[in-house]
């Protein structure tokens, strides 16, 4: 076991503040690496110390592995926490940490390699006996046509190294396959430097359900599942735990499959195994594993009572899990809304700028994860999320009611947010009934636009 005393946080925004909060509770010092645009951020003020990694552009700061390692070593840190996004699943960073004598608060380089390439990850799922969406890889149009003929239309083209919807294209008929394949490969090359793609059958009515894994390399546990089906352009907006309206057999199947996958690859750290639930067939398929803390981790914390960042740090120190599956119980229901700086009524146009007033209510069962304070700047260079509102209650209906109250009165002046979208979602009887699929939001948006104030 190697105790950690000072953590270098290689990230920004609310996740940086979130890690600092737990580190403080554990009595640990923190050093935050920022870009020049974030030098006056809340995280920089809360950390024990802050250092500027480079200019505003991510490639020159948050994605600069050399700068991260140099700053972590130069400030006497024992470990690096990568948060989510940026370098959080980067094998090169994990290897560089090891070479520099730093603890990477995340999985091993081998774990990252196993899940970072989607084709390799699919191969591990097959070996672990985890169901896969019918599909196959394709490097030419002829190969793509052969796979599409075998699995049937509609299909999805996905980037092997991708995520966040980049390099992803839906194809409904053979005539569209060639053009869409070319666009997907070009997008993948531009976004990830890797133009490899593969094809999957498109599930017409599907839900996005994921399972939280906690593993010390010997004991593999799940902390329940989350439903992340409310999405816009493959970006999650609302997440909840547990997933509503799943049959007991399907729920248990998802949990068992996630544990089997993590155990098969010898996973060590926190991670999330993501699945696509095929609603008409009442079955599920492996999508991918995210080898990091998730944006939506607070809903799991709410229903389990765990501090997942603290678990992550303890595992990185080499501590064995004190938990057992039987005593990891879920209580109540939690829902999270991602508040983004964007204008719903102007095609979600980003709304960077200075926040002149930031206020969130104090309500029973409400948690707010944010880096917003009066005077805070929202730079145009990064993700537009400014806060996460998480409500926990004995029932799903009570969690929804708490979020509705919070969204009605919270204030972020100086910018425009997507709060009206969340209010519409929470008030919609279809959402309130539970179990919406990934096409849900696309159907709701036209009605919201017509009701523009």
Could you write out the DSSP letters of every residue in 391-414?
EEESSHHHHHHHHHHHHHH-EEET
For 162-199, the pLDDT digits (tens) are 766 778 999 999 999 999 999 999 998 888 888 999 99
For 12-53, the pLDDT digits (tens) are 999 999 999 999 999 999 999 999 999 999 999 999 999 999
Whole-number pLDDT of residue 193: 84
Strand partners, 211: 225, 273
For 370-400, the pLDDT digits (tens) are 999 999 999 999 999 999 999 999 999 999 9
For residue 7, what pLDDT band results from cuts at 50, 70 and 90? very high
CA angle 410, 336, 240 (to 5 degrees): 155
**pTM given for the model:** 0.92
Whole-number pLDDT of residue 394: 98
3-state SS record for 408-425 = HHCEEECCCCCHHHHHHH
393 neighbors 450 (Cβ within 8 angstroms): no
Return the residue matching tokens 């239309």.
153
8-state DSSP, 243:
P
Do the bridges between strand 6-9 and strand 206-216 make them parallel or antiparallel, or are there none, so unpaired? Answer: unpaired
For 82-116, the pLDDT digits (tens) are 999 999 999 999 999 999 999 999 999 999 999 99
Check pLDDT > 60 for residue 453: no
CA angle 107, 112, 114 (to 5 degrees): 125
Whole-number pLDDT of residue 165: 74
For residue 149, what pLDDT band results from cuts at 50, 70 and 90? very high
Check pLDDT > 90 for residue 220: yes
Which contiguous run of DSSP H or E holds residue 30? strand 29-35
**Total residue length of the chain:** 453
Alpha-carbon span 453 to 440, nearest angstrom = 22
CATH (residue range 206-450):
3.30.470.20
Whole-number pLDDT of residue 117: 84
- Nearest C-alpha neighbor of 348 from the set 188, 187, 231: 231
- The residues annotated with a catalytic role in the active site are 292
Whole-number pLDDT of residue 119: 83
CATH (residue range 134-201):
3.30.1490.20
Whole-number pLDDT of residue 163: 67
- For 305-309, what is the mean pLDDT? 98
Range in 58-67, 152-161, 363-372 the model is least confident about: 152-161
Q: What contacts 237, CB < 8 A, 6 or more positions away?
A: 230, 231, 337, 338, 418, 421, 422, 425, 441
The architecture (CATH level 2) of 6-105 comes to 3-Layer(aba) Sandwich (3.40)
- For 44-65, what is the mean pLDDT? 97
Q: How far does the chain reach from its first CA to its final CA, in angstroms?
A: 58
Write down the domain spans for the chain: 6-105, 134-201, 206-450
């Amino acid at each position: 076991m190697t105790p950690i005393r000072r953590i270098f946080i290689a990230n920004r925004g609310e996740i940086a503040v979130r890690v600092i909060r737990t580190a403080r509770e554990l009595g640990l010092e923190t050093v935050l690496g920022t870009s020049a645009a974030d030098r006056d951020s809340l995280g920089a003020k809360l950390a024990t110390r802050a250092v500027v990694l480079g200019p505003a552009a991510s490639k020159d700061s948050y994605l600069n592995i050399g700068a991260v390692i140099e700053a972590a070593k130069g400030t006497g840190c024992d470990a690096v926490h990568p948060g989510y996004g940026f370098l959080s699943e980067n094998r090169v960073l994990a290897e560089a940490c090891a070479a520099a004598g730093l603890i990477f608060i995340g999985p091993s380089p081998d774990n990252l390699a196993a899940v970072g390439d989607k084709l390799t990850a699919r191969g591990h799922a097959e070996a672990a006996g985890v169901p896969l969406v019918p599909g196959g890889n394709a490097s030419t149009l002829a190969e793509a046509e052969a796979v599409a003929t075998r699995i049937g239309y509609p299909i999805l083209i996905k980037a092997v190294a991708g995520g966040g919807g980049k390099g992803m294209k839906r194809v409904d008929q053979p005539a569209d396959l060639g053009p869409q394949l070319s666009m997907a490969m070009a997008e993948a090359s531009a976004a990830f430097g890797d133009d490899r793609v593969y094809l999957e059958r498109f599930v017409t009515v599907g839900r996005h359900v994921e399972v939280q894994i906690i593993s010390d390399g010997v004991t593999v546990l799940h902390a329940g599942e989350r439903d992340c089906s409310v999405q816009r352009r493959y970006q999650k907006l609302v997440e909840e735990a547990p997933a509503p309206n799943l049959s007991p057999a399907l729920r248990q199947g998802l949990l068992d499959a996630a544990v089997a996958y993590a155990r098969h690859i010898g996973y060590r750290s926190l991670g999330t195994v993501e699945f696509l639930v095929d609603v008409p067939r009442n079955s599920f398929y492996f999508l991918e594993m995210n080898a990091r803390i998730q944006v939506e981790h607070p809903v799991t914390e709410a229903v389990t009572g765990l501090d997942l960042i603290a678990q992550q740090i303890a595992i990185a120190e080499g501590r064995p899990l004190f938990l057992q599956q039987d005593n990891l119980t879920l209580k109540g229901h939690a829902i999270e809304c991602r508040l983004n700086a964007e204008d719903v009524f102007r095609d979600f146009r980003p709304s960077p700028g200075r926040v002149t007033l930031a206020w969130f209510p104090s309500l029973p069962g409400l948690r707010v994860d944010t880096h917003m304070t009066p005077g805070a700047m929202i730079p145009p260079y990064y993700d537009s999320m400014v806060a996460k509102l998480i409500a926990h209650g004995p029932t799903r209906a009570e969690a929804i009611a708490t979020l509705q109250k919070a969204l009605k009165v919270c204030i972020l002046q100086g910018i425009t947010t997507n709060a009206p979208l969340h209010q519409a979602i929470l008030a919609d009887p279809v959402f309130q009934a539970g179990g919406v699929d990934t096409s849900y939001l696309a159907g709701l948006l036209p009605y919201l636009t017509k009701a523009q104030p």
